Amino acid sequence: MAKTRAPRRTLDSFTVNSINKTIKAGDCVFMRPADSSKPPYVARVDQIESRGANVKVHIRWYYRPEEAIGGRRPFHGSKEVFLSDHYDVQSADTIEGKCTVHSFKSYTKLDAVGNEDFFCRFEYNSSTGAFTPDKVAVYCKCEMPYNPDDLMVQCEGCSDWYHPTCIKMTTEEAYSLDHFFCQDCSSKDKKKLQQNPHATSRHSDTKVGLKRRRK
């Protein structure tokens, strides 16, 4: 007589015994790579299902910049990942741990970043290499998106942010600044002072803004 196949069931949660962690839909997890020399993959669990003792997770992969078409670029943060359109079904036993993928804004406000912390600001089409959104705010003379790993200084005139290296400034000089005006704003100030010698300076008592994810 043919053996009756166990019915498929959707689970609200599942405990991965090897890591003693309970996983539920919506959680972000580390997935074991086929090549043990590579870091674990990052994925979002969309659904958990079981058929008897066999438990599978339906996941949506996050890509690291080096895994995407075009590779890593200077503005990509060390903990940046892209939510891809690549869906998969994997054994729950390949989950190696839980992690958190923050929004870009919430990541930049973290007081400390752990090994399990990542951020995502783009969705990624794995077949075309296209990103959504296709445009983000850019800063500095180099016109690059903000990398939260990099130090930037803010101009008190135009409020734009600049990488110290792009304005020929050392990190030590950036941290010691009391005020900073970019080249364009400094030129405008000089013209105003020439036209009106009694004009007051815009310098304030506040220290120049420093843009960097807090350690």
What is the average pLDDT across 15-37?
Answer: 94
Summarize pLDDT for 121-173 with one digit per residue, the tens: 999 999 999 999 988 899 999 999 999 999 999 999 999 999 999 999 999 99
The answer to which of 15-24, 169-178, 203-212 has the lowest mean pLDDT is: 203-212
Summarize pLDDT for 29-82 with one digit per residue, the tens: 999 998 989 999 999 999 999 988 899 999 999 999 999 999 999 999 999 999
User: To which CATH superfamily is domain 8-134 assigned?
Assistant: Bromo adjacent homology (BAH) domain (2.30.30.490)
Fold for domain 137-215?
Herpes Virus-1 (3.30.40)
Cβ–Cβ < 8 Å for 126, 148: no
Strand partners, 41: 31
Domain ranges of the chain: 8-134, 137-215
Phi and psi angles of residue 35, each rounded to the nearest 5 degrees, phi first: -95, 110
Closest listed residue to residue 86, CA positions, set 123, 124, 60: 60
* pTM for the predicted model, two decimal places: 0.82
